C-alpha cells in the first residue's frame, strides 16, 4: 500500500489521476513524491530469483504409476463428492465418502489431495453450521495446500477462514 499521507491534502485530488494514467495532463507537485513512494514500495520481480520454478510450481505428481493412478482417482472422487454436496446437500451420505477420501489422501501422503478432501469436509461442516469443526478442517487444509505449494488453494482457504461466521 502506498502511503498517501505524506503528500498532503492539497495533492490528494491528483493522486488517482497519476496512478490511473501514469502521466499527468498538468505538472503536479505531488508527482515526485508519488513516484518515490511507488519505487520504495515496489517488490522485486521473480526474474531476480535464482530458481523461479521452485517458487511457482506445484508439488509434482508421484513418479510411481500406481501411486499416480491412485492420486488421479482420489482427485476424481473428491470432485464427485463436492458436486454431490453442492447438488444434494449433506443428507446423501457424502460426509462418509469425504472422510474416506481424507483417509486415502493421508495414506498416500499426497498433500494436494489431502487439501482438496479437507476443503470438502470443511464445506460439509459449513452446511451443517458446525463452525469450530469447519475452522479446524480449513486450517488443516491450508497447511496441506502449503505442502502442495498450491497458492490458489491457499488463498481460497484463507479467505474462507476469514469469511466464516463467528461462533
pLDDT-based confidence at 1, cuts 50/70/90?
very low
DSSP codes joined into one string, 8-75: -GGGGGGHHHHHHHSS-SS--TTHHHHHHHHHHHPPPPGGGSS-HHHHHPPPPPPSSHHHHHHHHHHH
Domains of the chain: 5-42 (no CATH), 53-163 (1.25.40)
pLDDT digits (tens, 9 = 90+) for 93-102: 899 999 999 9
* pLDDT of 123 higher than 60: yes
pTM for the full model? Answer: 0.64
Render pLDDT for 23-58 as a digit per residue (tens, 0 to 9).
445 555 555 555 555 555 555 666 666 666 565 667
pLDDT digits (tens, 9 = 90+) for 100-117: 999 999 999 889 999 999
Q: At what angle do helices 111-127 and 94-108 cross, to 10 degrees?
A: 160
Amino acid at each position: 500500500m502506498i502511503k498517501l499521507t505524506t503528500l498532503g491534502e492539497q495533492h490528494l485530488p491528483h493522486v488517482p489521476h497519476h496512478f490511473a494514467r501514469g502521466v499527468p495532463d498538468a505538472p503536479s507537485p505531488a508527482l515526485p513524491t508519488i513516484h518515490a513512494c511507488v519505487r520504495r514500495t515496489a517488490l522485486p520481480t521473480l526474474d531476480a530469483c535464482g530458481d523461479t520454478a521452485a517458487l511457482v510450481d506445484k508439488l509434482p505428481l508421484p513418479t510411481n504409476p500406481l501411486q499416480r493412478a491412485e492420486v488421479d482417482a482420489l482427485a476424481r472422487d473428491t470432485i464427485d463428492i463436492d458436486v454431490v454436496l453442492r447438488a444434494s446437500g449433506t443428507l446423501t451420505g457424502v460426509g462418509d465418502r469425504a472422510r474416506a477420501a481424507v483417509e486415502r489422501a493421508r495414506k498416500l501422503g499426497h498433500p494436494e489431495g489431502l487439501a482438496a478432501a479437507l476443503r470438502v469436509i470443511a464445506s460439509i461442516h459449513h452446511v451443517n453450521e458446525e463452525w469450530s469443526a469447519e475452522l479446524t478442517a480449513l486450517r488443516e487444509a491450508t497447511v496441506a495446500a502449503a505442502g502442495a505449494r498450491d497458492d490458489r488453494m491457499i488463498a481460497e482457504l484463507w479467505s474462507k477462514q476469514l469469511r466464516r461466521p463467528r461462533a
